[in-house]
Structure 1
Amino acid sequence: MIKRILPTVISLFIGFSSYANFDVNANCTQAYKNILSFKLKAAREQIDREKAMHPQNSFTILLDDYYDYFWMLSTESKTDYDRLKDNKSKRLDKLEDEDKSSPYYNFSLAQVNLHWALLHARFGDNSAAGFAIKRAYSQLNDNQKKFPTFLPDDIPLGMVNVALGALPDGALKSVLNLFGIKGSINTGINLLQNVTAHLPQSAYAMYYDEAVFYTTYLQTDVMNDAQAYQKMLQYTAAMDNSSLLKSYIQGYIALRTGHSAEAIRYFEKAPEGAEYQPYPYLNYLAGLARMNVSDKGAANYFNKFLQTNKGVNYIKDAYLHLAWDALLDGNIKRYTAFTQLVKTKGYTYNEKDKRALTEISDPHYQPALLQARLWFDGGLYEKALSVLKAKEADTFTTAHDKAEYHYRLGRIYEALQNDNNALSSYQQAINTGKGTSYYFAPMSALKAGNIYEQRKDSSKAISYYRMAIDFKNHQQENSIEQKAKEGLKRLKK
């Protein structure tokens, strides 16, 4: 009898112990939610309490990594990155000894790899980022095969697919190509939209905010989804108003989709207090939104960002916007001083900061073109059009200014759904900008391709996408070429 019962008892004990190794209990759930709300102090206390009460609960390893990831998002600090990056290998070593029969095993390994892949790329460590993405991608695919109903997998798997599919040529893509890793934008966005729709009614509802975080960002910045703003409003309606992440998502998506006035309101309503992790980046975003609607207080937000920011990104771009503010005020002396700070302050890990350096290498901005650009970004399309219609292309003397004039007109007409005028303006931008190193001509070819694709005129769309690719040695070359190639892929199906 004892011989028959003993194996059963042992198997039950082992099964119970293995299950407890990834115990997503109420305390862990609340800690995770606090991390995503940027309530990092409370989260830290809850994680430490869980470790003391249940030292064998391996889910705390993943929570520690989420904590570091959101800490780094808020600080952007290279010092913190150098201090914390060794945590990745330590956590992976610990997790690899845990319960392999749990869906949280590969999920946790992949999330740690993915968090650090994003951070490595943020600080220019592309080789480390490539290796981490390779591991995460493999672990997520394995987990999906073993546990096809485990919804949380679809969040990082969808995000990785979109990011890999949209990745422009460069150091990171070269590393990933060596591993034979290629993503699919359509596969990724479908995974994210599906999981975002199904999480609230599932046993994994706690992951909803994270799914919204990635889905809204990729719909806006990668997919250029015309409905991105409306979709964001629907997604975030179910999020807690006390979450700083909600305010960030709402403000960022509003800013990126031509709703700067709304973005200002979202940032103004962002929750504040000692319980929240300081997030200087929000002041930078608020400065952008205010500048896009000619709010004279914009400079105050850029200065506040520069005073409180301990990170390495957006410093050059903040000084660039302060230079623009001075130029629009007619203060050339102050404009020149800020352009010097663009050159000497900050770093070039971030694409925005790289472009800031490129921007100031050009001749002085034409205030009318700059004002039209900012109003367009703010969604003030009629005002942007009026400032350009008051000018004629012949009043500009350089190829740069002539090409930009036509390109800006094209963008405005397209936003106003006047596609015929947009196509005419884009063609003029191509004619005046070809042979230069500026992005106006190739970007106009890409935009014209988009319009013809929407019109179902495949032959013309393909022609313009190929034209965009054929332009070489210009600003934003990798990004424009990648988007044109994606357009060709869509049309060849």
Structure 2
Amino acid sequence: MIIFKFHKGFSLTVLFILSSAIMGLAQDFDFNANLQNAYNEVTKLRLAHAKQLSSKESPNNGYKILVDCLADAVNVYASESEAEYEKLVDKVDDALDVIEDLDTKAPQQRQLRAEIKFYLALVQMKLGHETKAGMTVMSAYKLLEENKKLFPNYTANNKILGVIHVLIGSVPENYRWITKMLGLKGNIDQGIRELEIATQDKITGFEAKFFKLFIQSYILPINDKVRTEVNEFVQKYTDSELALFLGVAISEKDNKSDQAWKTLQKVQIGNGYLPLPIFDFYTADIYLQKGNYAKAESYYQAYLKKFKGHSFIKDSFYKLFITNYLSGKNQQATAFLQNINQYGKKLSESDKAAQKFYDNYTKTKQLPNKNLLQARLAIDGGYYKEALENIKDINENTLSSNLDKADFNFRKGRIYQNLGDTDLAIPAFERSIAFAQSLDTHFGASSSLQLGYIYQKKKDSKKAISWFEKALSYKKHEYKNSVDNKAQAAITDINN
């Protein structure tokens, strides 16, 4: 054994250097109380305050970098600014370079890089850069899978990995070859389980719960358990603008406008919160569904004035057409129709639907049946008895086109389905499918999806899968992405 002896001063110097190095590694990923507060401020959408808190931390702390990137990504996601997106890409590149040089033996090194990439991918998807988003998600996935092998007990992997596994599991069967070729593996049940584990984290559990509820509401069929979880989530985090947004969005998606309205009343204006014009849009939708066209128009106009991005611009002009058309102001209504073609982008499904309505109108010059339109709006709000009243004087003989007949039967099917009368809903959906044949419309696919849900609820798996597969078979319509994702998710659920 060789024993090295040094004088006391040298020994203390070596000890100081070694301890400093160890402390430096520990501080590479220090999610301290201040940064936890900053992270919470981001989830509340109080971004300026979050940045103010994080500015006190070392620029080489991985969690400080994560919080800053998340705040920047949320800001660009909300604003849809291409100029700010370009800045975000540069910031993310710099951030990833810094984290890559941090302690490679720490599980946070890959996890935080993956999370930052995932946030960037969400922004890329929102702005329509779908190819880039796909590549970014794949890069995040590979980092997390590698991290999972190296650190199998590190549960922080589950949050983003859970979301990606659900997305992989909801890819339609005819596109599965792509995920296999890219080495992407996962399914919906696996992803939900991982997200459930991630929700237990005291700090980042909010974000995991947000993703889980979003997925269960937008990809999977909403049930009473999910509705309860959403309401509890909103009640628990009333100071979070992000939680309130989720509550409103899901209630609107679930045809529960009265619940959406209650949540909207909790939204705080000012006080450091990020301004979200989308709340004006949702408010307008509720007024439209209730038949208060003047109020609806004022809020759609407010949304168009405040929001400088592209989402729901075409849809807003389409709904301004509706408010005027149903108010008997046809000249003003057709003027708004022209704006559909001039403004916004065809990225969201509702914007695609608005553009499609304009394109059909320019060819046919036919305006929609007012009673059918009012029934659709009432259904969207969850006012099913009112919707039934709207169509009481309509039958197939009073409608001139197969498109209107398909629309009428689909609306009738949705009314009876939501009123719990599936014996009347089933033939209505089947009639809608029959009239939608050879038409460029979503009614065939949407009716097939709802029939799948009906038979799934009846525990008739064979018929349910048959209808879900039929929903997937429609090659092109304005709601194809969401219908296909839901149909494939349902098939996966039945087969597991």
* TM-score by shorter chain over 0.5: yes
Which amino acid is the alignment partner of residue 44 of structure 1? K
User: In structure 2, what is the Cα distance between the partners aligned to 1:174 and 1:298?
Assistant: 45
| Aligned: 1:160 with 2:153 | no
- Residue of structure 2 equivalent to 1:291: 288
User: In structure 2, what is the Cα distance between the partners aligned to 1:409 and 1:20?
Assistant: 62
Contact 1:169–1:482, Cα closer than 8 Å, also in 2: no
- Residue of structure 2 equivalent to 1:16: 23
Q: 70, 73, 96: which is aligned to 1:69?
A: 73
User: In structure 1, what is the Cα distance between the partners aligned to 2:178 and 2:124?
Assistant: 13
How far did residue 138 of structure 1 move? Answer: 1.4
Task: Give a deviation string over 1:7-34, Cα, whole Å, max 9, x none.
Answer: 9877654433211111111111111111
Q: 460, 476, 480: which is aligned to 2:463?
A: 460
- Residue of structure 2 equivalent to 1:311: 309
Which amino acid is the alignment partner of residue 123 of structure 2? L
Q: Aligned residue pairs: how many?
A: 482
Q: 372, 377, 380: which is aligned to 1:369?
A: 372
Q: Secondary structure at the match of 2:203?
A: helix
How far did residue 170 of structure 1 move? Answer: 11
Structure 1 pair 41/482, CA: closer, same or farther in 2 (3 Å)?
closer
- Residue of structure 2 equivalent to 1:411: 414
Q: How does 1:318-329 map to 2 (within 5 A)?
A: 318-329=316-327
Structure 1 pair 84/485, CA: closer, same or farther in 2 (3 Å)?
closer
Q: 138, 141, 151: which is aligned to 2:155?
A: 151
| Aligned: 1:234 with 2:232 | yes
- Residue of structure 2 equivalent to 1:48: 55
User: In structure 2, what is the Cα distance between the partners aligned to 1:97 and 1:133?
Assistant: 21
Q: 27, 33, 42: which is aligned to 1:35?
A: 42
Which amino acid is the alignment partner of residue 384 of structure 2? Y
- Residue of structure 1 equivalent to 2:140: 136
- Residue of structure 2 equivalent to 1:356: 354
- Residue of structure 2 equivalent to 1:340: 338
User: In structure 2, what is the Cα distance between the partners aligned to 1:263 and 1:34?
Assistant: 24
Task: Give a deviation string over 1:318-358, Cα, whole Å, max 9, x none.
Answer: 11111111121121111111111011011223333222201
How far did residue 122 of structure 1 move? Answer: 1.6
How far did residue 102 of structure 1 move? Answer: 2.2
- Residue of structure 1 equivalent to 2:393: 390
User: In structure 2, what is the Cα distance between the partners aligned to 1:150 and 1:295?
Assistant: 52
| Aligned: 1:266 with 2:263 | yes
Structure 1 pair 316/27, CA: closer, same or farther in 2 (3 Å)?
same
- Residue of structure 2 equivalent to 1:451: 454
Q: Secondary structure at the match of 1:349?
A: coil
- Residue of structure 2 equivalent to 1:93: 97
Contact 1:169–1:478, Cα closer than 8 Å, also in 2: no
Q: Secondary structure at the match of 1:131?
A: helix
Task: Give a deviation string over 1:222-245, Cα, whole Å, max 9, x none.
Answer: 112222322201233332x32222
- Residue of structure 2 equivalent to 1:124: 128
How far did residue 167 of structure 1 move? Answer: 4.5
Q: 420, 424, 435: which is aligned to 2:423?
A: 420
- Residue of structure 2 equivalent to 1:216: 213
How far did residue 79 of structure 1 move? Answer: 2.3
Listed as ranges, the gaps of 5+ residues in structure 2 are: 361-365
Contact 2:80–2:127, Cα closer than 8 Å, also in 1: no
Which amino acid is the alignment partner of residue 454 of structure 1? K
- Residue of structure 2 equivalent to 1:255: 252
- Greater Rg by CA: 2
User: In structure 2, what is the Cα distance between the partners aligned to 1:150 and 1:236?
Assistant: 28
- Residue of structure 2 equivalent to 1:202: none
Structure 1 pair 419/123, CA: closer, same or farther in 2 (3 Å)?
same
Q: 257, 275, 282: which is aligned to 1:278?
A: 275
Q: Secondary structure at the match of 1:237?
A: helix
Structure 1 pair 360/182, CA: closer, same or farther in 2 (3 Å)?
farther
How far did residue 213 of structure 1 move? Answer: 1.9
Contact 2:46–2:272, Cα closer than 8 Å, also in 1: yes
User: In structure 1, what is the Cα distance between the partners aligned to 2:390 and 2:328?
Assistant: 17
Structure 1 pair 154/91, CA: closer, same or farther in 2 (3 Å)?
same
Q: 80, 98, 106: which is aligned to 1:102?
A: 106
User: In structure 1, what is the Cα distance between the partners aligned to 2:381 and 2:290?
Assistant: 6
Structure 1 pair 306/110, CA: closer, same or farther in 2 (3 Å)?
same
Contact 1:130–1:176, Cα closer than 8 Å, also in 2: no
Listed as ranges, the gaps of 5+ residues in structure 1 are: 200-204
User: In structure 2, what is the Cα distance between the partners aligned to 1:312 and 1:78?
Assistant: 11
Task: Give a deviation string over 1:117-175, Cα, whole Å, max 9, x none.
Answer: 1111222222221221111111222223333443332221111222233346999x997
Q: Secondary structure at the match of 1:368?
A: helix
Task: Give a deviation string over 1:403-432, Cα, whole Å, max 9, x none.
Answer: 010011111111111111111111111122
Structure 1 pair 105/46, CA: closer, same or farther in 2 (3 Å)?
same
Task: Give a deviation string over 1:365-394, Cα, whole Å, max 9, x none.
Answer: 211111111111111111111211232221
How far did residue 246 of structure 1 move? Answer: 2.4
User: What RMSD in Å do the two structures reach over aligned CA positions?
Assistant: 2.5
Which amino acid is the alignment partner of residue 318 of structure 1? S
Structure 1 pair 305/30, CA: closer, same or farther in 2 (3 Å)?
same
- Residue of structure 1 equivalent to 2:363: none
| Aligned: 1:206 with 2:203 | yes
Moved more, 205-214 or 173-182: 173-182
User: In structure 2, what is the Cα distance between the partners aligned to 1:150 and 1:453?
Assistant: 37
